[in-house]
Structure 1
């Protein structure tokens, strides 16, 4: 790294901080802070959605998987893309009929207050863990680029994101996400991918220099691919950070078309990063810490100036997801727990202050956990395992089966979460079966408990259809 590239990254960080200050002036109400006033048009909405679903774990993790498994490494982010497309095609028209802020608020309307509380706790932990993965990624990039120690790198990267998120909430996140989306698109598709292919000898060079199984879509293993489906395709449907972006769209049509478009973009992103990882194996065949493959490849092949843009694009991917998940976790805590159960009559200005304080505390937790946890993909797997195993079934059943009762929804979340956590403790945090156990248990509990607790006084949940 020379002074030009270092200066570009520092300039990028400075712009993010400046945008946070500008965003703070637009966050005048709690709805502005949490949902950007529910007023985003298609382009801004699409950019924000792409930015939040494709973070540092997606970028660094997919390049690593491409390095280790070849083209099959694209399944990780492809499943994320498929998940957001499913959300757009099958669920947004049902979600949009309710003017809610969080997934937990909707579950509270569908079931009861206890369900709202427990789902808020589970979803807040999930969002916090996703934030942790982004801070880990930022630390690895800053460490590789500037040579600072890992702890300092995580503190600085996480601190910048926390600063602008606290100031402007969703307005700051939205404005930074648009810039990050454009930088990320240019950096990955128009700089890093073409130059990686050139240094590897083109697609023909990859075919001749890499083992044959590197071009097999199933080389990662069917079991791992299925695990990604459980974690990310199903997890996207019930992720608070995704729902919170869905709620920012001006109309249902924008939210639906934007979600499908973001899914398509995600699949293209997965292919590009897998190819970059495969090129890295040709150019740098002896990398020991494969989590740093992307950064090492960039440092090796990119000329001065372009290197700064590409590394800024990686930082933008990390920061966009980190800010979105930090805000999602703090929104769940403030909106669904603190305000709803403790501070019901809190005035608007004090509620915004409370939101900023909780965002600050969540950010400090994320940075602290990031210093302890080293593997970005493991941390992400744990987050999605808890979310998918405990929340997915009650949400889907709640939409499509009117006989599900309030007590049944509550118990299914509690017992599903316990089963997932127990399974991860017994079989290991990278095991797939605990997620299946949790989902099956949650399904059986909600069905049996609904018939056991059904009464004539139960009023069916009417889903409002809105186009």
Structure 2
């Protein structure tokens, strides 16, 4: 029965892809759902993309090991969405652009487009690849198949529904996935866990008895780990193309701000729910059923639920991972076409003269091509987590200061942005080599510090941004200009 439910889920995702295809008639439709999403669709899909496998399977695993302190990973994600929504989303929505790099060009003028585009493209592609491996693992266990066939089936499904209608298909499937996750986590797993463990008191007492330490100690995971979560995930969500592209889909600045805030609050509730499920699994599972913490989710589902409910919850886990994968996939393809390839074509003297149908077809082909690369990387890479860690560190260490600086400090200029990106990336990578551990915290700390210092000093020592550029930036922020900035020639 659980297999049948998952198969129905996959078929329905493809069906929504065809529905989205009918809506995606322009480039704006394909890339940002026509900038027409209202509060329900926007809030649900924003929550869906940020709450992936790390938040669902990983969040339960951290709760299994550390109790409520395990929720800090997902809390940091929720705080990233809250900060983005409350402080910046309404301004970002007014810019009427497609990529983060276009924001840098709009704010500073030509110069940083391609460098930021390459960093962002690598990050989103690695994010899509790790998500592919995560849902392929579920397929592999559920259908008793090898890694490569599981990746092909799962990845092929994501590529198919994403390519059919672009962001419209992804929006529709993500909203369904948000609904499935909500049912699976909040209305099935949490109640079952609490009932079987004799309520919250039974969970906390049982956890302390089994582990020897309190499950309600919010610092059990370690202060340094908590800080790292906030530096990497909160900052990463503030500037990631996959998240910004969702902000661009909002119908109004108010939708971007307040529906996004609701999504952030939902993430905080999701963090608590995952920890409760993990703690209950630690109390209820026979010793050894979850050999490692990441097995806690699957082991508890098998232990506590009948086949029908287990199928729904497995579909919820798939939904969590596939929504992140599809969002990262369209983000990488968008950045490649809008920020890198168009720049190269412009430098070669080739102008884009196609109509809307040509633009949609071109974006669809780029998405398919990057989907194939995603599947290939998932099949051959042995340590994708390491690759994603490097990409995350470069993203935050290299781009955070230039992006947020452009939003909050008018004296920041193009040279300051370029130097901060270059210095931030270089220091981050150099520190990784010196420390000899890509998972260490020092690379991102030193990279951020060097990037911030170079941005401030260079901006103060060089002329301010061209008044013409700033005038267009101000007009765009006020919502009085709608021209999308083109990539500058190399």
Superposed pair shares fold, TM > 0.5: yes
Q: Look up the match of 2:292.
A: 289
TM-score by length of 1: 0.94
Residue by residue over 1:353-398, the C-alpha shift from the partner in whole angstroms, topping out at 9 and shown as x without a partner, is 2212221222222223333456776565444322211111111111
Residue by residue over 1:132-184, the C-alpha shift from the partner in whole angstroms, topping out at 9 and shown as x without a partner, is 22112102212232222223222211211111111110010011011111111
Q: Look up the match of 1:404.
A: 412
Contact 1:177-1:320 at 8 Å conserved across structures: yes
Contact 1:399-1:463 at 8 Å conserved across structures: no
Contact 1:403-1:454 at 8 Å conserved across structures: no
Q: Residue 215 of structure 1: SS of its match in structure 2?
A: coil
Q: Look up the match of 1:364.
A: 372
Q: Distance in 1 between matches of 2:130 and 2:47?
A: 17
Q: Look up the match of 1:312.
A: 315
Contact 2:207-2:280 at 8 Å conserved across structures: no
Q: Look up the match of 2:357.
A: 349
Offset, 1:296 = 1.8
Q: Residue 94 of structure 2: SS of its match in structure 1?
A: coil
Q: Distance in 1 between matches of 2:416 and 2:206?
A: 56
Contact 1:252-1:466 at 8 Å conserved across structures: no
Contact 1:407-1:449 at 8 Å conserved across structures: yes
Contact 2:61-2:278 at 8 Å conserved across structures: yes
Contact 1:32-1:171 at 8 Å conserved across structures: yes
Q: Look up the match of 1:437.
A: 446
Q: Look up the match of 1:415.
A: 423
Q: Residue 213 of structure 1: SS of its match in structure 2?
A: coil
CA RMSD of aligned residues (A): 2.0
Offset, 1:466 = 4.2
The count of corresponding residues between Structure 1 and Structure 2 is 464
Offset, 1:403 = 1.9
Contact 2:31-2:334 at 8 Å conserved across structures: yes
Q: Distance in 2 between matches of 1:72 and 1:373?
A: 32
Q: Distance in 1 between matches of 2:164 and 2:203?
A: 47
| Residues 1:274 and 1:379: Cα distance change in structure 2 (over 3 Å) | farther
Q: Distance in 2 between matches of 1:274 and 1:377?
A: 22
Q: Look up the match of 1:224.
A: 225
- Structural mapping, 1:56-205, within 5 Å: 56-205=53-202
Contact 1:72-1:214 at 8 Å conserved across structures: yes
Q: Distance in 1 between matches of 2:384 and 2:54?
A: 6
Q: Unaligned 5+ residue runs, structure 2?
A: 480-490
Q: Distance in 1 between matches of 2:453 and 2:420?
A: 8
Choose 454-463 or 165-174, whichever is displaced more: 454-463
Offset, 1:230 = 0.5
Q: Distance in 2 between matches of 1:185 and 1:380?
A: 27
Q: Distance in 1 between matches of 2:112 and 2:22?
A: 35
| Residues 1:87 and 1:200: Cα distance change in structure 2 (over 3 Å) | same
Q: Look up the match of 1:337.
A: 340
Q: Distance in 1 between matches of 2:379 and 2:196?
A: 35
Q: 1:38 aligns with which of 31, 35, 42?
A: 35
Q: Residue 219 of structure 2: SS of its match in structure 1?
A: coil
Q: Residue 37 of structure 2: SS of its match in structure 1?
A: coil
Q: Unaligned 5+ residue runs, structure 1?
A: none
